Amino acid sequence: MKKVNRNKSTSPSTVSTANIMSIYSKSDLELFSSYSHEQVHIYDKLCSSISSSCEIAYCTSEGITICVPQTYQRQLSSSQNLSSSSSLSSIVVARIEYPFESNDQINSVSTKSTSSFIFEKLKDKYLSRLYEAYKHRPTSLSSFDRFLCNDTIKYKGFRRCLFSPFDIRLNQGQSILATITCAHEVFIYEIISSSKRFFLSQSSNLKIDLTKLLFENIQLENYLQDTNSEDDYRLLYFHLTSHILWNQTGTLLFQLQYSGHIIIWKFYGSTILNEKSLSIIDTKINKPLTMIWNEQAQLLLIIGKENQRVFIKLDQMKLFPININHHNDYMNTEYTQLIQWNRNTLLLVESKINYCLIYTILTDENQPSTYNCNQVDYRILPSPIVGFQEEQYSSSFLNHISILIGCEDGSIHCLIISRESPLTIVDMKLVTSGQMKSCSRKPLLLRHFNLSSNELLLARIFYSPIVAPNVKFGFVLCTLHRWLSSTVKSTENIIENFLERIDIPLWRSFDEVAILLNEITHSTNQNYQIKKQTNQNVLFLQRVCRLCSLLNNTKQIEIYENQLLKIYRYQFWTILNSLFSKMMNKLTPIELLIYRICSNDQQIYSSTLFMCPMCNTSLTMLADDLLFSTCSNKHMWPRCCRTLLPLSFDSAQKCSLCDRTIILIDTNNKNYSNFLQYKDHELNILFSSICTFCM
Ligand SMILES: [Zn+2]
Ligand SMILES: [Zn+2]
């Protein structure tokens, strides 16, 4: 077991009650929704991730499962939904299968898989040379080394998945999922958004095989150098990935290899920007354990066995050693958090089985590139730690750092660390136990957990073993709970909170929308009237419009939608005017019509470009009603909320984030040839698959 130095002056928690956590009598978290149908293997780690649109993905050796709570009401089925409230507890599910599964053998990966293809290449050219280095370390024949020898093809499924925090509006409303397969390859998927999933045959796209791309774009000889160092057998693992991380904006992906190499990819959405000029840094750490990124300090910390720690400073793309000033404890770090505590102090939190340790990493005032790491304190948890989450929203107004610690027994603890000097653990309290009254499966082991983007929902992935001799299978249970639900009480209260948060755009509030829809569906009082508000900016009106559609309030929704579209029309005209006011004679007839609709809100537009599909007379658009157009026989046709033109059947699409129909403009559509020149900049909203009400 762990060696604990109790006499060290830096550790104030000696043999005292401080280490015995204070047990609060807390009730269960409120269950929001759950999904549990699958049998999984006992060794599946069930690593999970939650996207900004509240999709929860978890990995098994069968593939990746993605669940979502419902976030909008379908117009066709909304009346049924209101009557059968239980329909919300089931979760929509998408599934990703390992793409290189072979057909002929059960439980195997095809030899066409990227990792076995590259390993064959490595073996042919370098194995004899690298084996010389490998021979010096015969003791390290771990299961991983055996994996290298001959049975790459026995593994399938996924080990790890991580949603990109990239702004989904810039990626057509689809979220991006980076994955590590069981064969240690990295694949980047695009997850089709929930509104589109029902209209397309697939729920995900494999966008990039990053492992393959890496080997197509590097000179292998530069990395597999011929040296006499006995550590060089690690280069055999050069193609295998152990860890991935996104930066806070999803524009950088860090790929950590078993050989200790860090590969830095620049992303824009699901497009890679640096295929040729890759950054590859050798940390010289063999089989690194984990890494962690701090956005504020722009530092990447890589952690190896026996307290090896190095920094990579992103601005210099260089490696910086960290001086370790505490005793080596020989236990492997599994999970970490790295938080900027003050200008020259970083707080490092590490988990080692059921120990949670905190360290400071100090920059030397005189030598800014020298870092000193000291252990400050530790706590013992009741069972092995399965992850950390920093509570950023809920602790931002308090003068402390709040880190949630999840344990295998299902309990979640809150570690509170002071923001003011001295840096210490102020408290650790039990937030919730692992018990769930509504769940019949027992026992439950927590495998992983995540907080949603606004920290209103907690996603937990449990494993429930089948208790029988020689059975190595069990069930996976993915649950969503209301987090901090005590701060929000009645339906009115939830609605008011939703309308007040006008600093957060709607597309970032899927957890709020899910809670709101759940509350409205279960509430008996459907007569909520939106009070008149003086502050009517676009973000507020977007929230009001979504609320009206969830409440099925058709009278109010038209008023608010028109208000929002009038603001949009003015903003749109400002852009069009700056781009085209001097070249209006060059615009196509459709472009000119859009320009005119936006420019003067006093007129009535009747155009022969758009005819009534019923009676084939021209459609009239009034300046005061931006939602509908009418023909002379009083047929009403909806207008697109982006182009403000009448919708037509042949070029329509669903908004990726709601159920609304908008005009689809192909990038080779000659009717929009002038607008298309600005499709990636000023006029990008016109060519996105997201509507004005979700932008
Ligand atoms: Zn008509
Ligand atoms: Zn929309």
What is each CA distance from 289 to 236, 306, 350, 426, 669, in whole angstroms?
17, 10, 11, 28, 51
ipTM: 0.96
- Running DSSP on this structure, what letter comes out for residue 140? G
Query: Does the CA dihedral 134-140-145-150 come out positive or negative?
Result: positive
Would you call 594 helix, strand, or coil by DSSP?
helix
DSSP string, 555-581: HHHHHHHHHHHHHHHHHHHHHHHHHHT
Size of the chain, expressed as the number of residues it contains: 695
Which residues, in sequence order, are CB contacts of 190 under 8 Å at separation 6+? 171, 174, 175, 176, 177, 204, 205, 207, 270
SS3 at position 152: helix
Residue 405 phi/psi, 5° resolution?
Answer: -120, 120
Contact 601/616 with Cβ under 8 angstroms? no
Task: Determine the distance separating the centroid of ligand 2 and the alpha carbon of 492, expressed in angstroms.
Answer: 24
- Which one of the ligands is nearest to 635 CA? 1
In the reported structure, the alpha carbon of residue 611 is separated from the centroid of ligand 1 by a whole-number distance in angstroms of: 8
**pLDDT tens-digit map of 357-400:** 999 999 877 777 889 999 999 999 999 999 999 998 877 677 89
- Closest ligand relative to 614 C-alpha: 1
pLDDT of residue 144: 46
Interval between CA 507 and ligand 2 midpoint (Å):
9
- Spell out the residues 6+ positions from residue 92 whose beta carbon is closer than 8 angstroms to its own: 67, 68, 70, 194, 197
What is the DSSP code (8-state) at residue 365?
S
Helix H or strand E segment including 39:
strand 39-41
DSSP string, 66-94: EEE---S--TTTHHHHHH-GGGGGS-EEE
Q: Which ligand is nearest to the CA of 615?
A: 1
Distance 615 CA to ligand 1 centre (A): 4
Ligand nearest to the CA of 545: 2
Give the dihedral of Cα atoms 122, 128, 131, 133; nearest 10 deg.
-100
Provide Rg for the chain, Cα atoms.
Answer: 28
Ligand nearest to the CA of 658: 2
Distances (CA, A) of 544 to 134, 225, 549, 694: 65, 62, 9, 12
In the reported structure, the alpha carbon of residue 647 is separated from the centroid of ligand 1 by a whole-number distance in angstroms of 14
Residues 378, 116: Cα–Cα separation, whole Å: 42
Ligand 1 centroid, distance to 616 Cα (angstroms) = 6
Identify the nearest ligand to the CA of 640 by its number. 2
Torsion of CA 112, 176, 568, 197, to 10 degrees: 70
Give the single-character DSSP code of 231: G
Kindly give, in sequence order, each residue whose CB lies less than 8 Å from that of residue 543, ignoring residues fewer than 6 positions away: 498, 499, 501, 502, 506, 509
| 8 A C-beta contact, residue 638 and residue 612 | no
**What is the whole-number distance in angstroms between the Cα of residue 71 and the centre of ligand 1?**
35
Name the residue type at position 106. I
- Ligand 1 centre to CA of 613 (Å) is 7
What is the per-residue pLDDT for 606? 74
Ligand 2 centre to CA of 177 (Å) is 22
Judge residue 218's burial from the number of C-beta atoms within 10 Å of its C-beta, 0-12 exposed, 13-18 middle, 19 or more buried.
middle
Q: Compute the distance between CA of residue 605 and CA of residue 597 in angstroms, rounded to an integer.
A: 7
Angle at the Cα of 405 from the Cα atoms of 400 and 406, rounded to 5 degrees: 155
Distance 506 CA to ligand 2 centre (A): 10
- Residues of the chain below pLDDT 70: 1-27, 74-90, 102-110, 127-155, 197-200, 224-233, 275-277, 396, 485-489, 524-527, 532-535, 601-603
348's enclosing H/E stretch is strand 345-352
Looking at residue 525, what is its pLDDT? 62
Q: Minimum-distance ligand to the CA of 631?
A: 1
Ligand with the closest atom to the CA of 610? 1
Burial 71-83 (b: 16+ CB within 10 A, else e): bbbeeeeeeebee
Cα 624 to ligand 1 centre (Å): 20
CB of 182 within 8 A of CB of 155? yes
Q: What is the predicted pLDDT for the residue at 90?
A: 61
| pLDDT score, position 3 | 43
How many A from CA of 662 to the centre of ligand 1? 21
**Measured between alpha carbons, how far is 190 from 258 in angstroms, rounded to an integer?**
26
Beta bridge partners of 191: 175, 204
What pairs with residue 261 in β-bridges? 282
Distance 646 CA to ligand 1 centre (A): 13
> Residue 657: its pLDDT value, please?
87
How far is the first Cα of the chain from the last one, in angstroms, to the nearest whole number?
A: 54
Q: How far is the CA of 272 from the centre of ligand 2 (A)?
A: 27
CA of 689 to the centre of ligand 2 (A): 8
Instruction: Label residues 444-462 b or e (16+ Cβ within 10 Å = b).
Output: bbbbbbbbbbbbbbbbbbb
CA of 659 to the centre of ligand 2 (A): 6
Q: Among 651, 649, 618, 623, which Cα is nearest to 635's? A: 618
Closest CA to 141 of 42, 284, 335, 287: 287
Q: Kindly give the distance from the C-alpha atom of residue 487 to the centroid of ligand 2, in angstroms, as a whole number.
A: 29
For the CA of 692, the nearest ligand: 2
Using the mean position of ligand 2's atoms as its centre, give its distance from the Cα of residue 187 in Å.
29
Q: How far is the CA of 660 from the centre of ligand 2 (A)?
A: 6
Enumerate residues 6+ apart whose C-beta is below 8 A from 689: 172, 173, 196, 653, 654, 655, 656, 662, 664
CA of 661 to the centre of ligand 1 (A): 20
